[in-house]
């Protein structure tokens, strides 16, 4: 039997196959084979025949998460964003960030979030879990003016490199968070963003920094919603791809 025929013969069988092992105390015993065992048999077959087997894993997702006013701004005209109600969605955001392994941050967002890089005992008990989650991830800050990262867990990049980000998505074992409207716009224009999570707050600020600064049309698919008691709404979207204007 050829190698490829052998592997196909193993994998083509049903992943769960009952086999009769015998009769015990008048009852027929049925053993169900675990699907992972079927794959291990295939790998063993390949090993015995001196062949390598490529293990495939999904590419990490790049996720844009931001708060925004109802008219789509993350800051008002003065640069303030105190109109949000972070305490109402704190636990939800903590769980959203928990599986993230890397943060890609613009300079201003990084400086704002540096508040969470201190000793855990310095935060109120109800906020320590978020600080712990935030600190465990690798941080990459994109800035032309920041000379060095003021905390021990960040590194500074001068330019946003789409190909380097694609490589990071391929090699990362965890999903990646991108924050900051200008940085997210670069990733959106490079068709790198997989999901957008928007926390819309019930306020109209009349101008400021928009959550989306890209000039490229994007089609999105709504995956989930969550309503909070304050009137804030979490919207989770999947990007379907960019449509570039002529």
pLDDT per residue over 47-85, tens digit each? Answer: 444 444 444 457 899 999 999 999 999 999 998 888 766
Confidence of residue 242 (pLDDT cuts 50, 70, 90): low
Residue 233 falls inside a structural domain: yes
Are residue 134 and residue 226 in the same domain, yes or no?
A: yes
Same domain, 43 and 123: no
Q: How many distinct structural domains can be found in the chain?
A: 2
Task: State whether 30 and 95 are in the same domain.
Answer: no
Calculate the average pLDDT of the chain: 79
pLDDT value of residue 148: 72
- pLDDT tens digits, one per residue of 35-46: 444 334 333 433
Whether 87 and 44 share a structural domain:
no
Let me know whether 168 and 81 are in one domain. Answer: yes
Host domain of residue 11: 3-48
Decide if 53 is inside a domain: no
The answer, yes or no, to whether residue 130 has pLDDT greater than 80, is yes
Do both 13 and 117 map to the same domain? no
Read off φ and ψ for residue 197, nearest 5 degrees.
-115, 115
| 88/217: higher pLDDT | 217
Report pLDDT for 57. Answer: 54
Residue 13 has a pLDDT of 42
- The residue ranges of DSSP E strands in the chain, in sequence order, are 18-24, 27-32, 62-69, 73-75, 100-106, 138-142, 154-157, 175-179, 195-201, 209-210, 217-227, 233-243
What are the helix (H) ranges across 18-150? 35-48, 86-97, 107-113, 128-136
Question: Which of 59-68, 109-118, 148-157 is the least confident region?
Answer: 148-157
Q: 34-43, 156-165, 233-242 — which is least confidently predicted?
A: 34-43
* Residue 185 maps to a domain: yes
User: What is the CATH number for 129?
Assistant: 3.40.430.10
């Amino acid at each position: 039997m050829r190698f490829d025929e052998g592997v196909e013969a193993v994998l083509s069988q049903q992943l769960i196959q009952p086999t009769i092992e015998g009769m015990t105390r008048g009852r027929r015993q049925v053993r169900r084979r675990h699907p992972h065992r079927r794959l291990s048999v295939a790998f063993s077959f390949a090993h015995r025949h001196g062949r390598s087997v490529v293990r495939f894993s999904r590419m990490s997702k790049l996720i844009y998460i931001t708060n925004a006013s109802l008219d789509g701004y993350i800051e008002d005209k003065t640069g303030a964003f105190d109109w949000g109600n972070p305490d109402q969605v704190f636990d939800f955001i903590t769980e959203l960030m928990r599986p993230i392994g890397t943060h890609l941050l613009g300079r201003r967002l990084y400086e704002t979030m540096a508040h969470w890089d201190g000793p855990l005992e310095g935060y109120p008990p109800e906020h320590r879990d978020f600080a712990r989650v935030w600190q465990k991830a690798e941080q990459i800050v994109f800035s032309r003016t920041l000379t060095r990262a003021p905390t021990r867990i960040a590194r500074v990049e001068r330019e946003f490199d789409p190909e380097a980000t694609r490589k990071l998505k391929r090699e990362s074992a965890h999903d990646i968070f991108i924050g900051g409207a200008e940085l997210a716009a670069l990733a959106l224009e490079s068709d790198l963003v997989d999901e957008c999570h928007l926390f819309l707050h019930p306020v109209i600020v009349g101008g400021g920094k928009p959550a989306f600064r890209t000039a490229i049309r994007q089609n999105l698919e709504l995956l989930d919603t969550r309503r909070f008691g304050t009137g804030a709404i979490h919207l989770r979207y999947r990007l379907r791809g960019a449509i570039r204007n002529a």
